[in-house]
Amino acid sequence: MRVDIISIFPEYFAPLDVSLIGKARERGILDVRLHQLRDWAHDVHRTVDDTPYGGGPGMVMKPGPWGEAIDAVLATGPAEPPRIIVPTPSGVPFTQRLAMEYAAEPWLLFTPARYEGIDSRVMAEYGARTRVDEVGIGDYVLAGGEVAVLVMVEAVGRLLPGVLGNARSAVDDSFAPGAMENLLEGPVYTKPPEWRGHEVPEVLLSGHHGKIARWRRDEALRRTAGNRLDLLAALDPASLDEHDRRLLKELGFPS
């Protein structure tokens, strides 16, 4: 997969040189290309922002430099343009489903903005030629879209074939279809069996795979009920067995 990123802070993406994503790049699975937006700002100060029409606080990123930068990136690739992803807190939520969708694309272009965002005509212009997604990574405000791009590239990159080893495949991720459907994963433990007086739950040492699976499901339900009422409410009642329903009732969630 090819990934282009246009930003006024290309140095912000140094984390993509290390760990899983760094390894995927070394191995040629992921081709990340960084671009400095200011290379397409032609005044002496290399200005990329201006005051908002209609008034209001902050600054808006000018369409000119973005248009030239995106055109230049598009010209370096095949006729089929990339899917363009514009991070913004007012976008659609980034989810594992969207990560999987992006992982199936041959080419992505991320356009992280600083200030109050990019002049909306840029999204209109490229939206007429390719898919342009305005995407948010959560209900909080960042100083700019760069960190959101790091989040998305990591979530997408680890799904590419050959990036994860067999020992840790993506199929049992919390939010992957086929994992325990829409339940959070419960607690995990490793050696030693006792640490500072805290013991590993005995069932995990029992070797009884049926009991272990049941215990893990109980813990997943407890954690989901405790932390994510939205996920609990969205559970398909048909996916709950008698034991699940009894546990949820004990936890104070009568079906």
- Is residue 49 flagged as an active site residue? no
- Is residue 4 flagged as an active site residue? no
Question: CB under 6 A: which stretch of 50-58, 101-109, 140-148, 241-249 binds ligand 97T?
Answer: 140-148
Binding test (CB under 6 A) with ligand 97T, winner from 59, 72, 142, 240: 142
Binding test (CB under 6 A) with ligand 97T, winner from 8, 37, 40, 88: 88
By beta-carbon proximity to ligand 97T, the closer residue of 22 and 89 is 89
Single out the catalytic residue among 39, 50, 116, 154: 116
- Is residue 81 flagged as an active site residue? no
Binding test (CB under 6 A) with ligand 97T, winner from 87, 109, 173, 235: 87
Question: CB under 6 A: which stretch of 33-41, 54-62, 67-75, 142-150 binds ligand 97T?
Answer: 142-150
Question: What string of H, E and C letters represents the secondary structure of the chain?
Answer: CEEEEEECCHHHHHHHHCHHHHHHHHCCCCEEEEEEHHHHCCCCCCCCEECCCCCCCCCEECHHHHHHHHHHHHHCCCCCCCEEEEEEEEEEECCHHHHHHHHCCCEEEECCCCCCCECCHHHHHHHCCCCEEEEECCCCCCCCCHHHHHHHHHHHHCCCCCCCCHHHCHHHCCCCCCCCCCCCCCCCCCCCCEECCEECCHHHHCCCHHHHHHHHHHHHHHHHHHHCHHHHHHCCHHHCCHHHHHHHHHCCCCC
Single out the catalytic residue among 119, 133, 134, 173: 173
Binding test (CB under 6 A) with ligand 97T, winner from 148, 150, 184, 232: 148
Question: CB under 6 A: which stretch of 28-36, 53-61, 86-94, 202-210 binds ligand 97T?
Answer: 86-94
Binding test (CB under 6 A) with ligand 97T, winner from 58, 106, 138, 162: 138
Q: Can you read off the two tokens belonging to residue 175?
A: 């939010």
- Is residue 218 flagged as an active site residue? no
- Burial class of residue 252 in the structure, from the number of CB atoms within 10 Å of its CB (0-12 exposed, 13-18 middle, 19+ buried): exposed
By beta-carbon proximity to ligand 97T, the closer residue of 138 and 193 is 138
**Angle at the Cα of 146 from the Cα atoms of 35 and 134, rounded to 5 degrees:** 95
By beta-carbon proximity to ligand 97T, the closer residue of 111 and 224 is 111
Smallest separation (angstroms) from ligand 97T to the CB of 142: 4
Question: Which residues does the annotation mark as catalytic?
Answer: 89, 116, 158, 173
Residues within the interface to ligand 97T (CB under 6 A): 87-89, 113, 136-138, 140-142, 144-145, 148
